[in-house]
Structure 1
Amino acid sequence: MGKVAILMSSYNGEQYIVEQINSLQKQTFKDWHLYIRDDGSKDKTKVIAKKICKEDPRITLIDDGENLRPAKSFLRLINEVVADYYFFCDQDDYWLKDKLQVMIDDIERYDNSIPQVVYCNLKCVDQNMVPRKYGFDELIGKISGYNRFIGNDMPGCVMLFNKATRDLAVQYKPNYDDITMHDWWIALIAQVFGQVHFVNQRLVYYRQHGDNTVGAGKSGNVIKKLFQKDLIKKQKRLVRQSFSQDMAFRKTFYSVLPSEEKRILDDMRRCLDSSIFYRFKFVTGYNFKQMSSIRTFAYDWTFIFMLKSSLKAKM
């Protein structure tokens, strides 16, 4: 067993951070180190974190004063912390006591000389830890293969990745402004250059509240979600974010990309300057799938008919 690092980016998290850290301290697996990088909190988060650091030597606070936003903040932690295994950790969730042990046991079954990601399932809860039906927790584990170029079914809190994954992320640095989220970027690295494995156990309570940076979306049935007034806006944002990130991935790793992924990303790049007919052939030819059939239809429609306007949109 090597060094296990838990990476947390905190921002104005005074309401929930103690409960989350307590859930880490209650883990059956004890040999870990938590690195908290505060992203410029204006509440009592840093005061709370400093107190906990004094009480538990396994916890380190990094306070450099910069506000980077979540993706860049987590990526900075990846660059600064060297370990054998890495967990992303949000400040407002709650981990079941066997999360670390279950996931470490799983990843150690594989060849860790290559990039490996293991991710688990989760349970959506409200701010008081009461289970709620958002639908998102039924979508984890639904994406595989190069479908990860257009969608991500693993928020950071469910992920474990190894040093080989981290080393590629550090060695080949993109323009971080083009990365949608740190977790999606890491998932892509493992998918293209290594392996991704799903553990279908709900090991995280994924707390939903008004201050979530990224959440599970709105509750309600499929029909209600389909007719949301801002559905097109959301799809255009997703197309813009995924396309920009894919082009950043292509540029960053082009010299080492496997031939199949290089061909996919080259064909995707041509979509920008090609006709609707070409984009239709691209989408149907690769048969990309999102986490559900409705999400797939909405994404395909937006990509085919609104790619250029999506990229120009400021959302």
Structure 2
Amino acid sequence: MQNYRIGVLLSAYNGDKYIAQQIESIMKQKNRDHITLLVRNDGSTDKTGKILKKLENKYDNLRVINGPNIGLVASFFELLKTGLNEYNFDYYSFSDQDDYWLEDKLQTAVNYIEKESNNIPILYGCRSIVVDDNLNKTEFVTQAKECRITFYNTAIQNIVIGHNQVLNKKLAEVLVKHHQGYDNIYSQDLWIENVAAVTGKIIFDNTPHTLYRMHGHNQLGYGKGKLDRVLGHLIRLKKKEPQKMAKQLDDFVESYKDFISDEEKNEIKLFLCSQHNIKTRIDYIRRTKLYRQTAKETIQFKILYVLGAYCI
């Protein structure tokens, strides 16, 4: 596709420290002539609005939408609807406000997607290099794909991080058409990944094309060292993130039941209904089809399930 158009969707909230640098990296993309950047200012109270206005005057392919604070999930879905209904882009790419993109990120994503059929929903993702506040590399790279990505995997693991997600129009249309509210979506990344898994196809590129900035507000998961990773996992447990994932999964199955096979529905039903006591949890986990990308991670999931971390 020679004349494709790609909409980059960025929800901004009090991001004055890093957002200009991120936008500059988007504007340095190899396929910039194909890009329109839509930024929704989600009720920021810092200097974000002034920075965006200045950048909008600088770049003719930047559009700023100012709105009230509705939260990250709702803001991203509003951007997706705007991109689809008002611009009708061929591709849609989500962006955080504090990362930095390598110049080949979007062109690489488009190249991968164009190799597939346009008749099915497609989600592209890649790895990220983990960096510190000043974009200095740490020793970490985000999760690699080591086995097939199916619904039995995405149900309990988010491998396609939001700032690396690029969608074709078919997937965007499915997301907007079947969306039923935001209250029970704690992670739009994982929601979109699950939608792609049951309606179409997920493509994953193990080569990193973004810098994932770790700072005081997003230390969970990776951090700047091994101790940060351990602490991040403990904080996730304290915040009951496995429980929130299970609740979101329950709502997801209801929303997309027409796309989910009977076998998959039965697996999720067992996952949710076996949680009531430790005996039923042990019985279920012995025969579950759910898995994570590595054997070690799958064992960790099973231990957490038996301990009741996913109980809702």
* TM-score normalised by the chain length of structure 1: 0.88
Work out whether 1:188 is the aligned partner of 2:191.
no
Counterpart-to-counterpart distance in 2, 1:126 and 1:255: 43
Segment of structure 1 superposing worse, 100-109 or 137-146:
137-146
Call closer, same or farther: CA 1:230–1:198 in 2, change over 3 Å: closer
Work out whether 1:265 is the aligned partner of 2:268.
yes
**1:217 is matched with which residue?**
222
1:168-209: CA deviation from partner (whole Å, max 9, x where unpaired): 111112331211211111111111111111112111011111
Aligned to 2:240, the other structure's residue is in SS state helix
Cα contact 2:126–2:209 (8 A) shared by 1: yes
**1:76 is matched with which residue?**
78
Work out whether 1:255 is the aligned partner of 2:258.
yes
Cα contact 2:221–2:229 (8 A) shared by 1: no
Residue 50 (structure 1) shift? 1.2
Which of residues 136, 139, 143 is equivalent to 1:139?
Answer: 143
Which of residues 11, 25, 28 is equivalent to 2:13?
Answer: 11
- Which blocks of at least 5 consecutive residues in structure 1 are unaligned? none
**2:209 is matched with which residue?**
203
Cα contact 2:93–2:166 (8 A) shared by 1: yes
Count of aligned pairs between the two proteins: 303
**2:47 is matched with which residue?**
44
1:253-297: CA deviation from partner (whole Å, max 9, x where unpaired): 12342233222222223224x543332233231243334445433
**1:178 is matched with which residue?**
184
**1:61 is matched with which residue?**
64
Which of residues 146, 150, 174 is equivalent to 1:168?
Answer: 174
- Which blocks of at least 5 consecutive residues in structure 2 are unaligned? none
Percent of paired sites with the same residue: 29
Counterpart-to-counterpart distance in 1, 2:298 and 2:217: 28
Cα contact 1:37–1:62 (8 A) shared by 2: yes
Work out whether 1:23 is the aligned partner of 2:25.
yes
**2:305 is matched with which residue?**
303
Work out whether 1:107 is the aligned partner of 2:113.
yes
Counterpart-to-counterpart distance in 2, 1:167 and 1:207: 30
Call closer, same or farther: CA 1:306–1:69 in 2, change over 3 Å: same
Residue 218 (structure 1) shift? 3.7
Aligned to 1:132, the other structure's residue is in SS state strand
* TM-score normalised by the chain length of structure 2: 0.88
Counterpart-to-counterpart distance in 2, 1:156 and 1:291: 18
Which of residues 258, 277, 280 is equivalent to 1:278?
Answer: 280
